[in-house]
Amino acid sequence: MRGFRAAVCVVVLAASASAGEIPRAERRSGSDFMSRETRAMQDDDTANPGMLWVLEGESLWNKKTGDAGRACAECHGDARASMKGVAARHPAFDATRGRPVTLEQRVNVCRTERQKAPPLAYESRELLALTAYLARQSRGLPIDVATDQRTQPFLDAGRATFYRRQGQLNLACSQCHDDNWGRQLAGNVVPQAHPTGYPLYRLEWQSLGSLQRRLRNCLIGIRAEPYEYGAAELVDLELFLMWRARGMTFEAPAVRP
Amino acid sequence: MASALINAPPRAKRGEIIEIKTLISHPMETGYRRTQLGALVPRDIIRLFVCTYNGTEVFRAELHPAIAANPFIVFSTVATESGTLAFQWTGDRGFSETESVAITVD
Amino acid sequence: MSRNTSRREFLLTAGGAAAGIGLASVIAVEPARATPATMQEAIRKVVGPARVNPGRVKLELPPLVENGNTVPLTVKVESPMTAADHVKALHLFNEKNPQPDVASFRFGPRAGRASVSTRIRLADTQTVIAVCELSDGSFWSASVNVVVTLAACLEDA
């Protein structure tokens, strides 16, 4: 069996010598690769498990918190209006920090600086709920991360990570997601890896989770040391992936296998 | 925390069969999973779901660990009169959650 | 631990055929596990000595699922649902999860329709059986075989 697997591995890698970037017109969301049943779960807000987090996010949005005793709503009003498009534009450049930050990091900046509350832990229920609620307000809008000379170095760093071989399996993201999308990997179809629906309900997790959780899963899958949540490598990769998906429709909170 | 999502028509005609969708947040821990260190994660599931219509039980579901996390149950009932549809989930570790929605029947 | 290593071995196999072949041998076996025999026992416990006739029940499950953690299922029985003639209960059983019982749904004439949708967990490719109990005391059943595929990239290191 070992010889067979190694041979197959070599075939896969050789075939993927360099198919290159996916042409813009051929880009498809992960939902296109799902079964009809999983797509139905996503498309129905009364059946999408991600909506449980969106609902909780809504109540957190309106809840006073921190030493400042302030709710998000006090500064930002109705999220349906004020937060429209925000998730589809993140990661976004933060002038104070001199680098792009994710939506999660942006929420924590507000919490610590404006609400005088402790930051929410990555993948905590509250942070997932708030980001799910925010992401929901961008549903249907095109992904639109701003790129200019300030974000360029970070975009380039993210791109380099995407094309770099990593881990014990010595695979680059591009080898599966640029060169072999649409093919099967252990019974699942390989998607193109566009983050069109984060945070999303992943059936494998039986929970809602962030893009960084998914990226760490992939890194673990290729037997690489996963970067810590919030690490620059992950934020830069998120920026690159969102840029790679620019113009595609945002569909959070999505459902994925 | 909004832990349950109910979808039922707010209004129906007398005698009409209405569909009710329920979704509740719960890990439905099977009791068969192990931690990284090999310890068994104890079972923690919702065992019973009951729907009452103005106090009368109209539907009941007995659940086992094979029901997926964040249990989703869709069922029907006949719109007989205006009033309240009440939903109760009970389970391990004293879990108990209730929700209700109003219905107007013409 | 062996379960995770086995799953990882699948990463190197590019080909949908791999999903069907050898799945049974790769999935880790938890000590307690339902078998077709324990499933029949579980059905007997619910049904008693009565005969279970195939038919009348419609069990809808996707023939192939992307993830066994959440499998959508609908089960229904055509019935007038009157006081004189209705479905009393629908029971679901499985063959290869650690336990054979899945759920029991109880109805009455107020249900209007004997139909339930839910989401279940399937640990492996297996058969799911639905048994319905009618008000006249008869039992009917339907079964569906579901192929369960594994996720390629798992979280556990």
pLDDT at C155: 73
Distance, CA of C127 to CA of C147 (rounded, Å): 9
Half-sphere exposure of C145 (CA within 13 A, CB side): 4
Chain B residue numbers with beta carbons less than 8 Å from the beta carbon of A57 are: none
C positions 80-139 inside 8 Å of B (CB): 92, 94, 97-99, 101-108, 110-113, 115-122
pLDDT over threshold 50, residue C26: no
- Which of B62, B80, B81, B89 would you mutate first to test chain C, the one with the most C CBs within 10 A? B62
pLDDT at A242: 98
Distance, CA of A29 to CA of C100 (rounded, Å): 37
- Mean pLDDT over the full length of chain C: 82
CATH number for the domain running over A50-136: 1.10.760.10
What is the CA A65 to chain-centroid distance, rounded?
27
pLDDT at A54: 97
pLDDT over threshold 80, residue C27: no
Average pLDDT over residues A228-242: 98
Nearest CA in chain A to C15: A184
Q: Check which CATH number belongs to the domain holding C144 and give it.
A: 2.60.40.2470
Q: Do domains A26-44+144-256 and A50-136 have the same CATH topology?
A: yes
Q: State whether A52 and B25 contact (CB < 8 Å).
A: yes
> What is the number of domains present in chain C?
1
Q: What interhelical angle do A103-113 and A125-136 show, nearest 10?
A: 110
H helix or E strand, kind and range, residue C140? strand C139-148
Q: State whether B63 and C70 contact (CB < 8 Å).
A: no
Domain of residue B10 covers 4-30+44-105
Q: What is the pLDDT of residues A197-213, one digit of tens each?
A: 999 999 999 999 999 99
Nearest to B31 by CA among B44, B47, B17, B13: B44
Return the exposure string of A75-106: e unless at least 16 CB atoms fall within 10 Å of the residue's CB, then b: ebeebeeebbebbbbbbbbeeeeebbbbbbbb
Chain A residue numbers with beta carbons less than 8 Å from the beta carbon of C14 are: 8, 11-12, 180, 183-185
Distance, CA of A145 to CA of A246 (rounded, Å): 7
Average pLDDT over residues A206-231: 96
pLDDT at C156: 67
Domain borders along chain A are 26-44+144-256, 50-136
For residue A14, what are its two tokens?
Answer: 């050789």
pLDDT over threshold 80, residue C17: no
Question: In Å, how far are B1, B61, C10, C41, C92 from B47, measured between CA atoms?
Answer: 21, 8, 35, 21, 15
pLDDT at C150: 75
pLDDT at C32: 62
Residue A250 sits at the vertex; the CA angle it makes with A247 and A252, to the nearest 5 degrees, is 165
Q: What is the pLDDT of residues A146-198, one digit of tens each?
A: 899 999 999 999 999 999 999 999 999 999 999 999 999 877 899 999 999 99
Average pLDDT over residues A221-246: 97
> What is the number of domains present in chain B?
1
Is C16 a domain residue? no
Q: What is the pLDDT of residues A113-159, one digit of tens each?
A: 999 999 999 999 999 999 999 999 999 999 999 899 999 999 999 99
Q: Determine what percent of chain C is predicted with pLDDT higher than 90.
A: 67
Q: Determine what percent of chain C is predicted with pLDDT higher than 70.
A: 76
pLDDT at A5: 47
pLDDT over threshold 80, residue A30: yes
Average pLDDT over residues A61-67: 96
- Sorted by sequence, the CB contacts under 8 Å of residue A43 that are 6+ apart come out as none
- Which of A126, A206, A220 would you mutate first to test chain B, the one with the most B CBs within 10 A? A206
Is C9 a domain residue? no
Q: Check which CATH number belongs to the domain holding B22 and give it.
A: 2.60.40.10
pLDDT over threshold 60, residue C109: yes
Is B88 a domain residue? yes
pLDDT over threshold 70, residue A225: yes
Residue A218 annotated in active site: yes
Distance, CA of B71 to CA of B68 (rounded, Å): 6
Q: What residues are paired with A254 via a beta bridge?
A: none
Chain C touching partners, 3 or more CB pairs below 8 A: A, B
Helices (H) and strands (E) in chain B, counts: 0, 8
Read off the pLDDT band of C14 (50, 70, 90).
very low
Residues in chain B with pLDDT values less than 70: 1-2
pLDDT over threshold 80, residue A97: yes
Q: State whether A55 and B5 contact (CB < 8 Å).
A: yes
Is C24 a domain residue? no
* Strands of A105-247, DSSP E: 184-185, 188-189, 200-202, 207-209
Please give the backbone phi and psi of residue B73, each rounded to the nearest 5 degrees, phi first: -130, 125
Nearest CA in chain B to A58: B2
Distance, CA of A45 to CA of A41 (rounded, Å): 8
Nearest to C94 by CA among C57, C126, C46, C131: C126
pLDDT at C157: 52
Conformation bin of residue B80: beta by default, left when phi > 0, alpha when psi is -120 to 50: alpha
Is C132 a domain residue? yes
Is B68 a domain residue? yes
Q: State whether B2 and A56 contact (CB < 8 Å).
A: yes
pLDDT at B24: 97
| % helix, strand, coil for chain C, step of 5 | 20, 35, 45
Nearest CA in chain B to A46: B7
pLDDT over threshold 50, residue A16: no
Nearest CA in chain B to C88: B59
Nearest to A194 by CA among A148, A247, A154: A247
pLDDT at A4: 41
Chain C residue numbers with beta carbons less than 8 Å from the beta carbon of A41 are: 70, 72
A2 or C88, higher pLDDT = C88
Q: Determine what percent of chain A is predicted with pLDDT higher than 90.
A: 88
Is C2 a domain residue? no
Question: In Å, how far are A33, A165, C63 from C152, measured between CA atoms?
Answer: 14, 18, 19
Read off the pLDDT band of C10 (50, 70, 90).
very low
pLDDT at C8: 47
CATH number for the domain running over A26-44+144-256: 1.10.760.10
In this complex, the residue of A51, A206, A207 whose CB is nearest that of residue B5 is: A51
Is B38 a domain residue? no
Distance, CA of C46 to CA of C91 (rounded, Å): 8
Distance, CA of A181 to CA of C66 (rounded, Å): 16
B1 to chain A, any CB pair closer than 8 A? The answer is: yes
Is B61 a domain residue? yes
Region of poorest pLDDT, from A49-58, A210-219, B84-93, C3-12: C3-12
pLDDT over threshold 80, residue A14: no
Q: What residues are paired with B60 via a beta bridge?
A: B50, C106
pLDDT at C2: 43
Is B11 a domain residue? yes
Domain of residue C135 covers 32-148
pLDDT at C45: 94
Predicted interface score ipTM higher than 0.90: yes
Conformation bin of residue A95: beta by default, left when phi > 0, alpha when psi is -120 to 50: alpha
Is B37 a domain residue? no
